[in-house]
Structure 1
Amino acid sequence: MLSKRLASTAAICLLLGAGTAACGDNKASDKAAAPATGAAAAATPTAAQLDTDKLSAQEIEKKAKDALASATSLRISGKMTSDDGVMTIDMVMDSKGQCRGTMALPGMGSFEMISDGTAYFMKPDTQFWKTFGGSNPAVLAKLENRYLTGFQNDPKMKDMTDFCKLADASNQMLDEGSSTPSKGSAGTVNGIKTFSLKEKDDQGEESTLHIATEGKFYPVRLEKTTGKDQGQINFTDFDKPVTVQAPPASSVIDYTKFQETVKSA
């Protein structure tokens, strides 16, 4: 399940696309939703309520899709385990293309990602440099503790940059499963009242999506507890402002120069 590709989006799509909900073609926001600052916003008498008794599982799923499409920002955090190891993510992003956060891939290391909506900066750790840049000490000395920039025009890095664009990322976060979701139960996740949808993939492995039932019906958590790849991802900080700060020029290396450095090593 875990991708070996460098592109973070592909890996996250696989991680989140365990089978359930809130995916596919996103449409307009739920017009009935109250103007909350996120899924955790306190409910008021006028706040929209998800009628889980009246709505079918597919209709509830669509509510979550539409709410996700309406978000101006969010935070994705969590981890997934597999035979390869543990994959972790903690990333915030907004509709302006801004993002910041970290991701670790099993056997490859971790990296920090920053974008102000125009420029992109990626700071891998030593293990990540070794995985993709080689183990030459001279190369590592030049690259360690540096940010790569100027890679947005490389097709191989497109998935990476797309993941900083909320509109693109929301289309890729959750993979639309071939099976039909079924209703789960009411609960509370991260202090938020939720209702769950369950779905099984072609291998019979089950995943669960927890959806907020008050205000905007955002996805709150996606978890997979059966099969080889298990873990959970939390969706938080919906519609909160995202602030980013580009690293100083002294800490940045151009992507083209990076490639030249590796080739000449």
Structure 2
Amino acid sequence: MRVNRKFLVAAVVCTTAVTGLAGCGGKDGDGKAKDVSDAKKPTASATPADTFAAMTADAIADKAVATTKAATSFKVTGEGLSKGERMRIDLTLNRQGDCTGKIAMKGGTAELLKSDAKSVYMKGDENFYRAIAKQDHTPARQADAMVEILKGRWMKLPADAVKSKGTGRSTSPDGGLAKMCEVTGLVQSMDDNPGERTGMTKGADTVVGGVPAVTLTKTKTDGRTLTMYVAKQGPAYLLKVDDRSGKDPGTITFADYDKPVTITPPPSDQVLDLQKMGMKPGGGSGSGGTGDLKA
């Protein structure tokens, strides 16, 4: 259950596929994923009842995944490595498919916002656009034009923007940019191979973000250690998943379960509607993948 890397890779693939480019990225804050949001943290009771006393570690893991998939909303933050490259995500999303947050890697950051079923908004900083232009070997003059056009603006894109032209298939492992904004879509990767969470053992109880948690751990034959932290108070939600592997370690933290998520589109004067301008997100230009953003 490589949930950490799958979450991070899916997020970055979805974002970069919109522009038809291969790499993007960033860094913000102190570079550390926070365990939970500071807003309205649950308070741990002094002696919480052991709701998992009669359950095996594997049964608790299965229950945690099922409970998390049934949530109406949550915030997910994560940091990890994929093929040696650091990636970070910070997203708040709900079951209706609305979301807001940031995806970062390789020196730049892209903001995502989705407030209805038809459109997704994305805004990258200059480092983001420079990085993806360099990765895709976009000529300097064309890259400069792309940065100038998109600087400080939100790109408005169709929710299925990452679907491959002519095939109807998505270039994203999660079925489209909009899919990663859905609670069920983002958590689905946990069930790609349920066998990966078979053979868990219970560890010492702990507290994650003020919530009592049971620790479940599995060490595989390749030395990779998977640790799941499951809430013992309230619904059995996942609070954190830590995947320690030699090549692609990472951590994903969940917070703010079932809180209302209100998201509004950005101001119209800050939006660049690619469809109205005749641009094709992800189509490529033949000389760098920046579509119709030509100098």
TM-score, normalised with respect to structure 2: 0.69
Which residue, 6, 9, 16 being the options, matches 2:13? 6
User: What is the identity percentage for the equivalent residue pairs of Structure 1 and Structure 2?
Assistant: 26
* In the alignment, structure 1 residue 168 sits paired with structure 2 residue 188: no
- The 5 A counterparts of 1:189-200 are 189-200=208-219
- The 5 A counterparts of 1:1-265 are 3=9, 6-7=13-14, 40=42, 49-51=50-52, 53-81=53-81, 84-105=84-105, 107=106, 109-118=108-117, 119-132=119-132, 134=138, 135=140, 136=142, 137-154=144-161, 155=163, 156=171, 158-172=175-189, 175-176=192-193, 178-179=195-196, 180-185=198-203, 186-201=205-220, 203-256=222-275, 257=277, 258-259=279-280, 262-263=291-292, 264-265=294-295
* Farther off after superposition, 79-88 or 53-62: 79-88
Q: How many residues align?
A: 235
CA positional deviation for 1:245: 1.8
CA positional deviation for 1:223: 1.0
Question: Which digits, 9 at most, give the CA deviation of each residue in 1:61-105, with x for residues without a partner?
Answer: 121022112211000013114563321111100111111000112
- Once residues 9 and 62 of structure 2 are traced to their aligned partners in structure 1, the CA distance between those partners, rounded to angstroms, is 27
Distance 1:243 1:9, change over 3 A: farther
CA positional deviation for 1:203: 2.8
- For the residue of structure 1 that corresponds to 2:146, the secondary structure is helix
CA positional deviation for 1:253: 1.4
Q: Is the 8 A contact 1:123 1:145 kept in 2?
A: yes
Question: Which digits, 9 at most, give the CA deviation of each residue in 1:3-27, with x for residues without a partner?
Answer: 49632599xxxxxxxxxxxxxxxxx
**One-letter amino acid of the structure 1 residue matched with residue 108 of structure 2:** G
* Farther off after superposition, 221-230 or 85-94: 221-230
Structure 1 runs not aligned, ≥5 long: 11-37
Q: Which residue of 2 aligns with 1:31?
A: none
- Once residues 267 and 252 of structure 2 are traced to their aligned partners in structure 1, the CA distance between those partners, rounded to angstroms, is 32
Structure 2 runs not aligned, ≥5 long: 18-39, 164-170
- Once residues 146 and 202 of structure 1 are traced to their aligned partners in structure 2, the CA distance between those partners, rounded to angstroms, is 48
Q: Is the 8 A contact 2:41 2:210 kept in 1?
A: no
